[in-house]
Amino acid sequence: MITIRGHHLLCINGFQGYGYNKDFIDNLYSIVSNLRSNKEIHIKVIDSPDDICEKCPFRVDNECKQNPCAEETLSTDDRKVIKKLGLKTNGLYRIGEIFDLIEKRIKSVEDLEELGICSRCEWRNVCKFYEQKANDARTNK
């Protein structure tokens, strides 16, 4: 069973090969490729470190230690995304179902900004998902 924390559900859509180090990137690439290629895979949605975090250099004692408040902030972000998508923490879902929910419930860059997550993400400038929503906003003006 693959575990994915709430905010990583968005990251999966935008990942294009960047990360903290080679081990992290390789792990994330493997997970993302697997999920994108098989929409029937079931995942467990959580609000704590997940399988993506497994190779993160900031993971210590199963918590993010990137800064003193990192894990608390990320867990809050996870719960925001879980709520926005109408999911339940620790729920089991097909990844295809989650991709559909993201498409239906996060239609614009404003929806992303409302969550307050992407605006402080260090990967925003290389995130295809954020870029797509921003381009959609420019196109629709």
pLDDT tens, position by position, 44-57: 999 999 999 999 99
Instruction: Taking residues 25-32, report their average pLDDT.
Output: 98
Query: Residue 66's CB: how many other CB atoms inside 10 A?
Result: 17
Q: Please choose, from the candidates 110, 86, 96, the residue with its C-alpha nearest in 3D space to the C-alpha of residue 6.
A: 86
- The overall average pLDDT reported for the chain is 94
What pTM does this model have? Answer: 0.92
**pLDDT at site 139:** 76
